[in-house]
């Protein structure tokens, strides 16, 4: 029976310890079974792709022995948690996860804390300027300048009518990712350049929640991942920026400049089982899945 895809929010990874105190375990004490599960966490943009890949990988092989004959015949268990890119970096740094997921540039100070890790860029994502399909701005003003985008998110342009006189005099509802998300950093670097976001902006806990806000409110605007737009076709409309749509071609060429890398943080010397799944994510199959879910795989860059 096909295993159902499960998103597991891991509040903590608990390590069972046999015995207590300083005494060494005796021969009669049961030894804990070795944990062959793979724990992955971080970016809410990248997590659905990796979770789907984990589901496909598990469905294909079912046990580790079928991945490689030298492995024991243990069932494959891969857990994927969200929590934002900041969590992905931190959890990879302290070993809470085996693979960290990041959807932004990893800072130099963060890299210095990861001397025994590798960073794998698997693809690229654009942050679209997303609105409800029934918002009249889609037809009246489908292209914004980057300065107009900045002024909207800074709260300087507060109503649609202020953006264009023919638009309704209704308040623009600005929706953003929380500060722990990679999208907030990428958007600041590409658009805001240090200008504060409007204090009235609604912070959403995940990219999925941000996409949902845009779908639910005709006056909302948010920087929604192109992957989420692709996964919700017809439910989200996107505006061009400086004359360029967020197409794969424009993302790859850099013409659409509000983009960010999608990164896996792995151990430099990964466990054999972890390496098998990492190889799967970086294979043509894994990169094709990334593309199917609306992102630009690294091979296209």
> pLDDT digit string (tens) for 186-206?
999 999 999 999 999 999 999
The tens digit of pLDDT for each residue in 130-158 reads 999 999 999 999 999 999 999 999 999 99
Give CA 259 to chain center in angstroms. Answer: 13
Portion of the chain with pLDDT greater than 90, in percent: 81
The answer to whether the beta carbons of residues 225 and 258 sit under 8 Å apart is no
Distance set, CA 228 to CA 158, 160, 183, 283 (Å): 26, 24, 13, 22
Compute φ and ψ for 2, nearest 5 degrees. Answer: -65, 130
Average pLDDT over residues 265-269: 96
Give CA 116 to chain center in angstroms. Answer: 23
The tens digit of pLDDT for each residue in 42-54 reads 999 999 999 999 9
| Mean pLDDT, the chain, integer | 88
pLDDT of res. 29:
55
């Amino acid at each position: 029976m096909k295993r159902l895809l499960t998103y597991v929010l891991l509040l903590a990874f608990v390590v069972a310890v046999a015995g207590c105190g300083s005494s060494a375990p005796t021969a009669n004490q049961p030894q804990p079974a070795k944990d062959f599960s793979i724990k992955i966490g971080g970016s809410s943009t990248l997590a659905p792709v990796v979770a789907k890949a984990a589901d496909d990988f598990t469905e294909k092989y079912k046990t580790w022995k079928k991945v490689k004959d030298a492995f024991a015949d243990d069932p494959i268990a891969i857990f994927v948690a969200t929590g934002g890119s900041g969590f992905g970096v931190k959890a990879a740094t302290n070993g809470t996860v085996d693979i960290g997921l990041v959807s932004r540039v990893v800072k130099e100070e963060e890299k210095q804390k990861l001397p025994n890790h590798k960073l794998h860029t698997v693809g690229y994502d654009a942050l679209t300027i997303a609105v409800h399909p029934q918002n009249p701005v889609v037809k009246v003003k489908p292209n914004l300048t980057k300065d107009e985008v900045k002024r909207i998110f800074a709260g300087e342009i507060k109503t649609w009518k202020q953006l264009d006189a023919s638009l309704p005099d209704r308040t623009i509802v600005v929706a953003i990712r929380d500060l722990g998300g990679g999208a907030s950093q990428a958007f600041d670097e590409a658009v805001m350049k240090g200008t504060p976001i409007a204090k009235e902006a609604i912070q959403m806990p995940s990219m999925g929640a941000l996409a949902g806000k845009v779908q639910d409110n005709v006056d909302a605007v948010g920087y929604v991942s192109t992957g989420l737009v692709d996964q919700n076709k017809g439910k989200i409309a996107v505006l061009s920026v400086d004359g360029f749509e967020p197409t794969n071609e424009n993302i790859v060429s850099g013409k659409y400049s509000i983009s960010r890398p999608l990164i896996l943080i792995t151990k430099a010397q990964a466990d054999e089982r972890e390496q098998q799944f990492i190889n799967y994510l970086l294979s043509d199959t894994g990169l094709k899945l990334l593309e199917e879910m609306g992102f630009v795989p690294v091979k296209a860059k």
